[in-house]
Homo-oligomer: A and B are copies of this chain.
């Protein structure tokens, strides 16, 4: 593990983990400092979690490994969101769900296309994987769009309707996610061939070390997330950022930093299959697994049940992001301009959220 730390510069940031925990004890009111330290500490922990999950997956064989990867691949996002859920910060939870989907779909995908395209004239990738993920994302977008489209009036009947609907939709989405895994890992796995054997470059850890890392790092992420969630709103004010911008952009970028490093490096190596798989797979995992699990868990651990009704602007952004992903991956080819176009759509959203007056 020490060799690992030496080879991966991200892991030097692990020094910030004790720093943020100490600072939170000593200076609990220094929100801006705590926020910055927490961000710097979460990034290497996410990278460790990601590597540990893959190592366990590599040991357990293809189908079980794929399942494990698909379930724990976004553990960081899940732990952050669970912490916010327990604190009753439902607006932050919802913004971070929508933001993670939009960020993975537009920023991670667009930057992969751009970085790959700056090195390679034209790149090709396997469309089957992209289509599956785009289809799942489309399903999730429809599920998140419908409560906002039909439910507007504020009333008790309306609120009860939204909660029942949200639970039903959550179960449908998890079912859709399970069917997608069945399809891609079992019945039609030959269509997704090139996305397998992805991480062969890195040597997997022994199973014991991997499992221990998985357990230990999850606890650390949970501890740091608590500091992050507590400090994020106050720190955002200090930086002049709107809450919408923080939830949508900052939390999403922090949570996905480790996956982005992997996706960008694959794109530079002309392995765009892998980049597209990480970006869209991560987005659909959050939409079809993390989000519904949070809705269901809100009945157990939250102060009140959470529904799936999002701010209409967030729904519009998710819908546009999904449509963009479907359009740009449809042809199975890419050049730098496709990435630039996708990134510009993301920039439009980021700019809008950055300027949005708080009461909006």
Contacts and interface: CB of A to CB of B under 8 A. Distances in A.
Contacts of A344: 139, 172, 175-176
Contacts of A352: 146-147, 150, 165
A187 B336 contact: yes
A70 to B, nearest CB: 15
Nearest to A171: B351
Contacts of A194: none
Chain A interface, DSSP helix/strand/loop, else mixed:
helix
A161 B337 contact: no
Contact of A341 (B139, B188, B360): B139
Interface string A334-352: 0111101100110111011
B146 A355 contact: no
Contact of A327 (B132, B326, B355): B326
Interface stretch (A15-23, A33-41, A312-320): A312-320
A149 B355 contact: no
A150 B313 contact: yes
A335 B188 contact: yes
B176 A341 contact: yes
A28 interface: no
A312 B356 contact: no
A142 B345 CA distance: 7
A47 to B, nearest CB: 32
A352 to B, nearest CB: 5
A264 interface: no
Contacts of A313: 149-150
A351 B168 contact: yes
A142 B320 contact: yes
Contacts of A338: 135
B180 A345 contact: no
Given A149-B312, A149-B313, A150-B360, A179 B340 contact: yes
Contacts of A121: 188
Given A179-B340, A341-B176, A360-B161, A351 B139 contact: no
A338 to B, nearest CB: 7
B348 A161 contact: no
A157 interface: yes
B356 A161 contact: yes
A83 to B, nearest CB: 28
Given A121-B188, A145-B320, 10 more contacts: A135-B338, A145-B316, A157-B357, A161-B356, A172-B344, A172-B347, A172-B348, A172-B351, A183-B335, A187-B335
Q: Which 7 A-B pairs have the closest CB atoms?
A: A183-B337, A157-B357, A150-B313, A149-B316, A168-B351, A165-B355, A135-B341
